[in-house]
């Protein structure tokens, strides 16, 4: 019997977000940031938290240390009604941390991976998978303990009847070593942004990249920032424009929020164009508040903000 709509497997960390920074750091020198925010970080956790706000039952599998940062992560997820009982805690490891330096609409990040590097596929038990309808995996390159057996995880999920999605995220090593021909047949929705997609497919643009993966992929969703998003399915490419926020607070987590909006509709069985539209809306809503989760409280608040900021009615 399914208990959860979506089971999220991913990395966990906190974000220290610095704003109004007076310059860019240089070795041997010190600069000042006028604003700082400590909040829930990691693409997977932002996705899970915001997905839950879309009235979706969500559970999380990841790894933490047993420290103050781990308490913040667990409290933040629990506050958004994400099920955290599957999260593994270790006295031997430290919880991950990302320092985010915001510069306008761009940013520079430094991450200490910590415990996120140590989650293994063998720790994701069949009983956990059986309780969900859908499996989502994010930030695969940040999880070297999981990456070698990623295919095995997706094979298990599909064998149990789950639908699946994956957002690969950026590869810090920039090697982009992911066996797409073997993996993508087991991924129902593949969700990179445009730069990640081009690197992973060794292509110059969307069309040449799609040609490369067409023989073995299912649905491909490509996030394209202010140009919206593109969806390829059954030899058909459709695009939806972005919802434009002219008063951007920051863009941290916008892609993860897009994923949350899209998957919230996908697991409810809505048409793909609707999924794409709600993904774009969620990405835009994300930019109306600091950090990746502050713009998402619950479905009622999301509807109000969508109407007030973007004249969108659910």
Report the alpha-carbon distance of residue 91 to residue 215 in Å, rounded. 45
Confidence of residue 13 (pLDDT cuts 50, 70, 90): very high
- Could you tell me if 65 and 90 are in contact, meaning their C-beta atoms sit under 8 angstroms apart? yes
- For position 305, what pLDDT does the model report? 92
- For position 159, what pLDDT does the model report? 98
For residue 103, pLDDT beyond 80 = yes
Fold of 4-11+42-94+114-310: 3.40.1190
Q: What is the pLDDT of residues 240-271, one digit of tens each?
A: 999 988 888 878 889 999 999 999 999 999 99
59 alpha-carbon distance from chain centroid: 14
Report the alpha-carbon distance of residue 282 to residue 284 in Å, rounded. 5
More confident residue, 17 or 267: 267
Q: What is the pLDDT of residues 116-161, one digit of tens each?
A: 999 999 999 999 999 999 999 999 999 999 999 999 999 999 999 9
Strands 163-167 and 189-190: parallel
Q: What is the pLDDT of residues 154-192, one digit of tens each?
A: 999 999 999 999 999 999 999 999 999 999 999 999 999
Confidence of residue 50 (pLDDT cuts 50, 70, 90): very high
């Amino acid at each position: 019997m399914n208990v959860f709509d979506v089971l999220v497997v991913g990395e966990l960390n906190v974000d220290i977000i610095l704003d109004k920074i007076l310059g860019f750091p240089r070795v041997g020198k010190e600069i000042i940031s006028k604003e700082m925010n400590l909040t829930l970080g990691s693409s997977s956790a932002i996705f899970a938290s915001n997905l839950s706000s879309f009235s979706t039952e969500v559970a999380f599998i990841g790894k933490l240390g047993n420290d103050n940062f781990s308490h913040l992560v667990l409290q933040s997820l629990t506050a958004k009604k994400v099920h955290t009982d599957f999260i593994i805690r270790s006295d031997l490891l430290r919880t991950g941390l990302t320092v985010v330096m915001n510069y306008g609409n761009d940013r520079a990040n430094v991450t200490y991976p910590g415990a996120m590097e140590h989650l293994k596929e063998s720790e994701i038990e069949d009983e956990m998978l059986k309780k969900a309808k859908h499996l989502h995996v994010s930030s695969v390159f940040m999880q070297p303990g999981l990456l070698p057996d990623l295919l095995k995880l997706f094979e298990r999920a599909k064998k149990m009847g789950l639908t699946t999605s994956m957002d690969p995220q950026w590869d810090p090593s920039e090697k982009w070593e992911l066996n797409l021909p073997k993996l993508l047949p087991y991924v129902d929705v593949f969700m990179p942004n445009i730069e990640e997609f081009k690197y992973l497919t060794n292509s110059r643009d969307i069309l040449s990249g799609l040609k490369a993966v067409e023989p073995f992929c299912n649905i491909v969703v490509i996030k394209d920032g202010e140009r919206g998003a593109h969806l390829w399915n059954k030899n058909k490419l459709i695009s939806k424009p972005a919802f434009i926020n002219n008063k951007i607070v920051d863009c941290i987590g916008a892609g993860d929020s897009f994923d949350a909006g899209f998957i919230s509709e996908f697991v409810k069985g809505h048409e793909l164009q609707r999924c794409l539209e709600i993904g774009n809306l969620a990405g835009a809503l994300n930019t109306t508040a600091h950090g990746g989760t502050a713009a998402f409280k619950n479905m009622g608040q999301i509807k109000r903000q969508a109407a007030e900021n973007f004249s969108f009615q659910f």
